[in-house]
């Protein structure tokens, strides 16, 4: 079955630390890849997405993600986090077989000021 | 502005009652989705609809019902058969087969009292 795994359920960092959130998916075909973010009390927003081309994708608020096809991974990174990055982050995949989003379980990120 | 509107934002229900959550979109999207979000479990698909007057069960459809009489509207009824209805409910929409990700509403928090 197609699935998405996010490695950490909770991550706690200090401000200015570097961030990497892991995401792996299980599907051998073509995929579109997404990271969504949900800030406290707000709705889910698209952070960045990858469809094709340069595997290093830049999103909003200084986030980026790298698609490594051989590893079935799409890890999210940010060189220096801020307190305002405290949120829950979801990785999601649309396989070309069914065009529906398959979600990871989410990672709660807490940034200590 | 185009978007998805969910109402109400907060809803309280007595045990044994049915309640209906509203979801309206003006994005001209074909597909609409209902998710349930619980802490530590990510997003779980309840129902989805890719065309008017047609809908499909998701992973956790038991105790829920939907209708899709209009393209813009996809209300969700949480019935008394749903054993654990207290949760955050998210509605989303997308173009069918676009692979372009979803647009989300701001959610409804349902509490059974």
By C-alpha distance, the chain A residue nearest B108 is A43
Mutate to test the interface with A, among B39, B99, B100, B103 (most CBs of A within 10 A): B99
Cβ distance of B41 and A9 shorter than 8 Å: no
pLDDT at A98 over 80: no
Note the pLDDT of residue B5.
Answer: 94
Q: Do A44 and B97 touch (CB under 8 A)?
A: no
Return the residue of A nearest to B59 by Cα: A102
Helix (H, G, I), strand (E, B) or coil at A62: helix
Q: Are A48 and A63 in contact (CB under 8 A)?
A: yes
Q: CB of B101 within 8 Å of any CB in chain A? A: yes
B48 contacts in chain A (CB < 8 Å): 100
pLDDT for A28 equals 84
Spell out, as residue ranges, where chain B has pLDDT lower than 70.
Answer: 1-2, 97-99
pLDDT for res A81: 97
Chain B nearest-CA distance from A14, in A, is: 22
Percent of chain A with pLDDT over 70: 99
Residue A84: C-alpha distances to residues A37, A61, B21 (Å): 12, 10, 31
Phi-psi region at A97: left, alpha or beta (left = phi > 0; alpha = psi -120 to 50): alpha
| Mean pLDDT for the stretch of residues A19-36 | 93
Q: Quick one: pLDDT at residue B1?
A: 60
The DSSP secondary-structure symbol of B30 reads S
Dig out the tokens for A8 from the structure. Answer: 């950490």
Q: What was the pLDDT predicted at A44?
A: 87
What is the reported pLDDT for B7? Answer: 93
pLDDT, tens digit (0-9, with 9 covering 90-100), for A52-95? 899 999 999 999 999 999 999 999 999 999 999 999 999 999 88
Predicted local distance difference test score (pLDDT) of residue B15 = 87
């Amino acid at each position: 079955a197609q699935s998405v795994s996010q490695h950490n359920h909770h991550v706690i960092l200090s401000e200015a630390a570097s961030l990497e959130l892991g995401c792996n998916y299980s599907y051998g075909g073509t995929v579109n890849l997404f990271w969504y973010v949900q800030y406290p009390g707000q709705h889910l927003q698209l952070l960045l997405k990858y469809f094709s081309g340069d595997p290093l994708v830049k999103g909003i608020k200084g986030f980026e993600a790298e698609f490594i096809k051989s590893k079935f991974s799409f890890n999210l990174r940010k060189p220096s986090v801020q307190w305002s990055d405290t949120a829950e982050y979801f990785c999601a995949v649309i396989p070309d077989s069914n065009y529906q989003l398959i979600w990871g379980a989410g990672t709660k990120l807490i940034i200590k000021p | 502005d185009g978007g998805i509107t969910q109402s109400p934002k907060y809803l309280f229900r007595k045990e044994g009652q049915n309640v209906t959550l509203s979801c309206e979109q003006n994005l001209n999207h074909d597909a609409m989705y209902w998710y349930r979000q619980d802490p530590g479990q990510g997003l779980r698909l309840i129902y989805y609809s890719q065309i008017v007057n047609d809908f499909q069960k998701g992973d956790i459809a038991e105790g829920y019902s939907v209708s899709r009489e209009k393209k813009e509207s996809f209300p969700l009824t949480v019935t008394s058969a749903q054993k654990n209805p207290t949760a955050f409910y998210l509605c989303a929409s997308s173009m069918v087969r676009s692979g372009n990700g979803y647009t989300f509403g701001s959610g409804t928090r349902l509490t059974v009292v």
